[in-house]
Amino acid sequence: MNDLLDTRSRPLRDLRISVTDRCNFRCTYCMPKEIFGREFVFLPRAQLLTFEEIGRLARAFARDGVSKVRLTGGEPLLRRDLEQLVAMLAEIDGISDVALTTNGSALAARADSLKASGLSRVTVSLDALDDRTFAAMNDVDFPVTRVLAGIDAAAVAGLTPVKINMVVKRGVNDDRVVEMAERFRGTGHILRFIEYMDVGSTNGWRMDDVVPAAEIAETIDAHWRLEPLEPEYPGEVANRYRYRDNGGEIGIIASVTQPFCGACTRARLSADGKLYTCLFAARGHDLRALLRDEDPTDEELSKRVRSIWARRADRYSDLRHAQTQQRPKIEMSYIGG
């Protein structure tokens, strides 16, 4: 199959599927409580893509080059019977990797069933190891021990390597970077530090709150010497490092200070069926309406996907400046990270 390329010669390889816009956390960088409070109206169930609709779309994307699918949210484990969807996706020809990003709150109870359904790997969001700092990030007083139990359960189930994502925000949890690195060194898990990003329009992002990737690497290197690693595959978002004493590896995702737009191979499907070709997009392409109103053939679905990707020219992080930051952007909780 010839590569499906966008206007900047980037192939389509990865599909991130948000299965719900709901979450039981209110992380300040994603779903701040001031906006997503008790009165916030989430998508009604009828507007969510059904598992069958997601499966149809995933098959269309697979025909056009997607080999990796990641389930996101919101918190994806809030979607009832998610294991059924995992099993459907794992059986699609061409899809070799089905992964999940979760806050870990329900992972301990479901790691085994997710693995049995065909899930390949899991990434868990964890921004600190002490409850006070963690609560300052998730804003719901959820205990760290339950997230750690989920990570342990995922490892035992074989959802490996488990990746742990830590969003680093200046003045909130940047003093916990070394503690996090020490906790996961030698475990076989891969800790990834993420620069605080200007996703959406509600998290009050300021450049002053960003801890640059170079600073994070220097902080850890001062305790345990690091050396850079080559990417595992084209378009990998994290800069990889290994501990020179064989303590494992870490990753640093530097979307703000070291943009990687030029190698981005990701498309994102929102919970209500809109296709976004950039994490920082303002508008999506309504594939749910196509499915429900036009009843397209498989070839017509693929044709629509190809036409959208072929016109893609997104490079928000490369161009980040005052004007782009001020434009409306879709919230991360709506399309996943």
User: What does the pLDDT look like over 39-97, one tens digit per residue?
Assistant: 999 999 999 999 999 999 999 999 999 999 999 999 999 999 999 999 999 999 999 99
Instruction: Confirm if 83 and 111 have CB atoms less than 8 A apart.
Output: no
Burial (CB count within 10 angstroms: exposed 0-12, middle 13-18, buried 19+), residue 93 = exposed
> 259 pLDDT band (50/70/90 cuts)?
confident
Domain edges within the chain:
14-335
Question: In the structure encoding, which two tokens stand for residue 84, read together?
Answer: 């059924």
Q: How many CA atoms lie within 13 A of 80 on its CB side?
A: 3
Find tokens 């879709």 and name the residue. Answer: 330
pLDDT digits (tens, 9 = 90+) for 98-147: 999 999 999 999 999 999 999 999 999 999 999 999 999 999 999 999 99
Question: In the structure encoding, which two tokens stand for residue 1, read together?
Answer: 């199959």
Rounded Cα distance, 181 and 223, in Å:
10
Superfamily in which the 14-335 domain is placed by CATH: Aldolase class I (3.20.20.70)
At 137 the three-state DSSP class reads: helix
The type of residue at 64 is D
Instruction: Confirm if 279 and 220 have CB atoms less than 8 A apart.
Output: no
pLDDT of residue 221: 98
Q: What average pLDDT does the chain have? A: 92
**pTM, 2 dp:** 0.93
The type of residue at 244 is R
Instruction: Confirm if 85 and 51 have CB atoms less than 8 A apart.
Output: yes
For residue 266, which of 126, 66, 28, 79 has the smallest C-alpha distance? 66
**The pLDDT of residue 322 is above 70:** no
**The pLDDT of residue 165 is above 60:** yes
> 323 pLDDT band (50/70/90 cuts)?
very low
pLDDT of residue 255: 86
Q: What is the pairing mode between strands 190-195 and 163-168?
A: parallel
- Give Cβ neighbours of residue 199 (< 8 Å, ≥ 6 apart): 29, 30, 205, 279, 280, 329, 331, 332, 337
pLDDT digits (tens, 9 = 90+) for 183-221: 999 999 999 999 998 766 656 678 889 999 999 999 999
Instruction: Confirm if 174 and 134 have CB atoms less than 8 A apart.
Output: no
pLDDT of residue 104: 98
> 317 pLDDT band (50/70/90 cuts)?
confident
pLDDT digits (tens, 9 = 90+) for 3-41: 799 999 999 999 999 999 999 999 888 888 988 999 999
Least confident window among 62-66, 233-237, 289-293, 324-328: 324-328
Find tokens 């997104």 and name the residue. Answer: 314
